[in-house]
Amino acid sequence: MSDVETRFHRFKDLPSTQLLGTGTPMCAGCGGLQALHEIYDVLGEKTVFVNAAGCMTLLSVYPFTPFRGSWLYTAMASAPAGAQGVRDALDILLEQERMPPEEDLRVVVLTGDGAAYGMGLSATSGAIERGLDFLYIVYDNEGYGNTGQQYSGATPHAARTATSRMGGGFRGDKKDLFDIWVAHRPAYAATVIGAEPLDLARKVERAMAIKGPKLILALAPCPTGWDFDPKLTVDIGRLAVRTGIWPLKEYVDGRVVHSKTPHPRKPVKEYLSLQGRFAHLFEPQRNAAELTRMQAKVDEYWADPAT
């Protein structure tokens, strides 16, 4: 991204406005809330959030809200449809000159991975197809966290969840939502993480300058669902990037570019061993075969990361 104009060159350029209010019912150490407050500080106050049911539904529970502006709650599958309605209403008000252009709002979907990777996929696909001008923020904690971490389409291989407690954990693989978006040829798509606030701020800034459907996909380390000490949220987030498990990248102008290439990559076991959901890979016996396969998968990705 070095060729792009940005106001975020170093950490001191990050906003210190703290637009998002305190006192939310998110868990202590929530990686999703961390990403959200960083994103909100870049987006600014003129936003309307359309929230698919999930953990963050609890952000605004009457009569409390941490947002400075409007927030609309939808069922899990219908946040993009809600966003379409809000965008259309704003456009009509603008067209009929019932609202001055400076009062226009950005329409932002806020969704967890349960809705984004599963139930909400069809509505999202439709919204991208229609070229809806919206920002789609996913806080991906790799499971249905608000109901006790049942597996979702985003759960990674071998993670223990409430619905895959025994044996080797979840047998499937994490769906690639970034690639699903890219296959739609959206205006913009990026992966981010709260533990890398500068990279995140640049991507949100870039997305704001582009019209059309835009994805900000944030990996959200989850102390409750992933079973780790809340103070490790940032360490685990950084390790997700440095082991190559969570590639930081963006899709813009028709191609995918990595904004950070971890070099040398740390072994994936450093990321896995900090989390209770992967403890069965290390205790009582070390599952060397599984760990080797998981490492090989990451190595395979980085052997040809451009695609």
Partner 1 sequence: MYRIRFHGRGGQGMKTASRILGSALFAEGFEVQDAPRYGAERRGAPIFAYVRADRRPINERGIIRRPDLVVVADDTLIPVPAAGVLAGLDAYSVLLIHSHESADTWRRRLNTPARVLVLPLIEESADRADLPYVGAVCAGAAACLLGVISEDALATALRDELGPLGEAVVQRNLDKALAAYRQMVEVCGVVTEGREANAADYTPPEWISLAFEGANVSAPVIHAGLTSSAVKTGLWRTLRPVIDYDRCGRCWWVCSSLCPDGAIQVEEGRPTIDYDHCKGCLVCVAVCPPHAIEAQPERTAESLETPK
149 touching partner 1, by CB under 8 A: no
Burial of 278-301, coded b for 16+ CB within 10 Å and e otherwise, reads bebbeeeeebeebbeebbeebeee
18 touching partner 1, by CB under 8 A: yes
CB of 56 to partner 1, least distance (A): 12
Nearer Cβ to partner 1 (37/203): 37
Cα–Cα distance, 234 to 241 (Å, whole number): 11
Nearer Cβ to partner 1 (124/141): 141
- How far is Cα of residue 180 from the mean position of the Cα atoms in its chain? 14
Alpha helices in the chain (DSSP H): 31-43, 79-95, 113-114, 121-129, 177-183, 197-208, 223-226, 233-242, 268-272, 288-303
29 touching partner 1, by CB under 8 A: yes
Sole residue written with tokens 């049911």:
53
For partner 1, how many residues bind (rule: CB under 8 A)?
45
289 touching partner 1, by CB under 8 A: no
286 touching partner 1, by CB under 8 A: no
* Binding flags for partner 1, 213-252, as an x/- string (CB under 8 A): ----------xx-----xxxxxx-----------------
User: Count of CB atoms within 10 A of residue 153's CB?
Assistant: 21
**In sequence order, which residues have a C-beta less than 8 Å from that of residue 288 and are 6 or more positions away?**
none
Cα–Cα distance, 103 to 203 (Å, whole number): 24
CB of 172 to partner 1, least distance (A): 21
65 touching partner 1, by CB under 8 A: yes
30 touching partner 1, by CB under 8 A: yes
Sheet holding 255-260, edge to edge: 71-74, 47-52, 106-112, 134-140, 213-219, 188-193, 248-252, 255-260
Nearer Cβ to partner 1 (134/139): 139
Pick from 2, 3, 23, 285: which binds partner 1 (CB under 8 A)?
Answer: 23
Cα–Cα distance, 10 to 214 (Å, whole number): 24
Sole residue written with tokens 């025994």:
166
39 touching partner 1, by CB under 8 A: no
CB of 173 to partner 1, least distance (A): 24
Identify which range of 81-89, 168-176, 193-201, 253-261 contacts partner 1 by CB under 8 A.
193-201
Pick from 7, 46, 130, 165: which binds partner 1 (CB under 8 A)?
Answer: 165
Q: Which of residues 197-216 bind partner 1 (CB under 8 A)?
A: 197
21 touching partner 1, by CB under 8 A: yes
Residue 138 in contact with residue 217, Cβ under 8 Å?
A: yes
66 touching partner 1, by CB under 8 A: yes
> Applying CB under 8 A, which residues contact partner 1?
11-12, 14, 16, 18, 20-31, 33-34, 37-38, 58-60, 62-69, 165-166, 194-195, 197, 223-224, 230-235
